[in-house]
Amino acid sequence: MTPEVLALAAERLGADAEGVLARLAGRRARALTKHERAALLVAARSPVPPGLRLIDPSWIEAGLEGLPRRARAALDAPSSPVDVWLARWATSALPPMPLQPTTELDRFVGHEVREDGGHRVRHPAALAWLLDIAEDQLAFALGEAYRPLALGHADEVLARIARPPRADNLGSRRATIDRVRALSPDDDWRFLRLGCRALAPHLATNRLAQLQISRSLPRHLGLLVEQELVAFSALPLDQVPAWAALVAR
């Protein structure tokens, strides 16, 4: 049972919640404040997961497949028990998303607004993050041989991996070279896979984070990211970058 579920169940006990969590729950559940437990309760009662707007629309469309047309309207304004049921059915496979960043990971789950041809376009922050991790991995593995691949920004990437917190925190160079060699040159998303594989062991026990990252991306990419994060979660931590290097700006 997850810490959040334990804390949510205990919240129904009112003033006795703290004592029950102290006796039965792990450190994570005990650390949740009364405010956080109350927020979990609100989320559990909501027809749709909190932060639904942060989930890529392609996942929502997939959830609506096979449901009555009424389900689409129910996502925005459920007006009856049937609407609530439809909304929950359509979003049952979607995780709650962070409404406000409270952890280092939360800032990579939302979207960045960029100028693209004079238009403001939303880009998934997770995609940029995973590709940045991949660039670090390539530069670390290849050294000066990375320059022809970097399309003009090799100096920036090589400089950042030479500075803390990345310097001496990028894991095993031998293992990084092996990860780069394992990529298929015919795979258009090989660098996205590389970023996922470097991150995967850090999220091995954090299923919520795996879902939040993958569901913030278009579904075809999110499925790939989820697959990679799960498949490479057992890599030893000393073979991948340290967490501080991964989340460095």
Question: Taking the domains of the chain in order of start, what are their residue ranges?
Answer: 1-45, 47-94, 105-246
165: preceding bond cis by omega (within 30 degrees): yes
Residue 38 confidence (pLDDT): 61
pLDDT above 80: residue 43: no
28 pLDDT higher than 50: no
Length of the chain: 249
Residues 116-145, mean pLDDT to the nearest whole number: 86
Condensed to tens digits (0 to 9), the pLDDT of residues 205-247 reads: 999 999 999 999 999 999 999 999 999 999 999 999 999 999 9
Instruction: Name the residue with tokens 């967490």.
Output: 243
Average pLDDT over every residue of 167-190: 96
Over residues 92-97, mean pLDDT: 91
CA 211/CA 109 separation, integer angstroms: 10
**Dihedral angle of Cα 91, 96, 100, 105, to the nearest 10 degrees:** -120
Helix axis angle for 219-231 and 190-199, nearest 10°, is 40
Higher-pLDDT residue of 13 and 235 is: 235
Give the max Cα distance, the chain: 63
How much of the chain is in helix, strand and coil states, percent to nearest 5? 60, 5, 35
Residue 146 vs residue 34, higher pLDDT:
146
Residue 77's pLDDT band, with cuts at 50, 70 and 90, is: confident
Of 100, 107, 104, nearest in space to 244 by CA: 104
Confidence at residue 48, expressed as pLDDT on a 0 to 100 scale: 86
**Which H or E run includes 88?**
helix 81-90
